[in-house]
Amino acid sequence: MGYGRRKSNKIGTTLLFLLLAIVFGGCAGFLAYKLPEKVSALKVAKEAVTTFNAEQVALEEELNTHKLELEAVETEVQNKKAQLEKEIAAHPSVNVSDDTNKFAYLTFDDGPSVNTVKILDFLKANNIKATFFVLGKNNQDEIYKRIVNEGHTLAIHSNTHEYDKIYRSVDTFMTDITDLSKSLEKITGVKPTIMRFPGGSNNTISHKYGGTSIMDQIIPAVNNAGFTYFDWNVDSSDASANRQDKNVIVNSVLNGSKGKDEAVILMHDAPAKTTTVDALPQIVEGLRQQGFSFRAITGETEQVKFK
């Protein structure tokens, strides 16, 4: 009996060991099978991280290189700009474009008349300012006012335009233009400061009435009275005939203005000067093609004078 019991105990222990061996063996086998797979997956992941880091470093290096290049370009631009500014400062008189500084001054003597109204209408439609050297005339207040209100320069020519009276002496001349100036100021509210001598500052007709030195006496008196006189450097030739041919007027103005930066153009708006009105559209078109823009004469305008 005793022997039999011990034998069965031994069999139980053996079975237990066997069972444990199977369990541990299974686990070990499973681990031995799975671990290398895990390890190699980890290795791949680690390699990927290493590659990623290396790529990031390379990109950062490239970015820094570009930053340096950009800084170099910016420095170069700054240096060039400073150099150009220096050069511009050293040459203040250099004009970028000649055309922006070409000015034509359309001037009309001996009005107002019905032609003045037509000229004002044309100038208004074409957005052009001009200068009117007027005479003293009754019942023309509306035209004097219109000249001022539409932005043109209302300038003195002569109250009477009678050479034998005005050029007799300094006093007779000054009385003539002062009367006109006062009258125009009363009508328009604006005191005229620009004037033009009948016949121009170098006329010789005056010699017959006031002697050969009369203009040399009158000019300082006019300046002292606060007037700035203007002659002209382009003659439309519209006074060379009672009714000058329209094409002659156009060609005289366009040829006379060629090569000038400042063209002060003599024209007339007396009652007979209808062809001057007719010539205006072609004159304006031709001058614009030459690069001129139009201005009215003011105290700021560079004085054009014969003497």
CB of 293 to Zn ion, least distance (A): 26
Neighbours of 146 (CB within 10 A): 20
Nearer to Zn ion, 136 or 198 (CB): 198
Nearer to Zn ion, 102 or 137 (CB): 137
CB of 177 to Zn ion, least distance (A): 13
HSE (side-chain half, CA atoms, 13 Å) at 167: 24
**Near Zn ion in 182-211, by CB under 5 A:** 198
> What mask of x and - would describe binding to Zn ion in positions 90 to 109, judged by CB under 5 A?
-------------------x
CB of 157 to Zn ion, least distance (A): 6
CA 173/CA 166 separation, integer angstroms: 4
Cα–Cα nearest to 295, from 102, 98, 99: 102
Residue 110 contacts Zn ion per CB under 5 A: yes
Nearer to Zn ion, 112 or 198 (CB): 198
CB of 162 to Zn ion, least distance (A): 11
Q: How many residues bind Zn ion (CB under 5 A)?
A: 3
Residues in the chain: 307
Letter string b/e over residues 171-206, b meaning 16 or more CB atoms within 10 A of that residue's CB: ebbbebbeebbebbeebbeeebebbbbbbbbebeeb
CA 145/CA 140 separation, integer angstroms: 9
Q: Angle 38-39-45 (CA atoms, 0-180°, nearest 5)?
A: 90
Residue 176 contacts Zn ion per CB under 5 A: no
231: annotated active-site residue: no
Nearer to Zn ion, 110 or 176 (CB): 110
HSE (side-chain half, CA atoms, 13 Å) at 114: 5
Nearer to Zn ion, 156 or 279 (CB): 156
Residue 231 contacts Zn ion per CB under 5 A: no
CB of 135 to Zn ion, least distance (A): 8
Cα–Cα nearest to 132, from 238, 26, 269: 269
Residue 136 contacts Zn ion per CB under 5 A: no
Q: Please give the biggest Cα pair distance in the chain.
A: 180
91: annotated active-site residue: no
Please identify which residue in the block is written with the tokens 């002697």: 211
| Residues near Zn ion, by CB under 5 A | 109-110, 198
**Which residues have a catalytic role annotated?**
109, 268
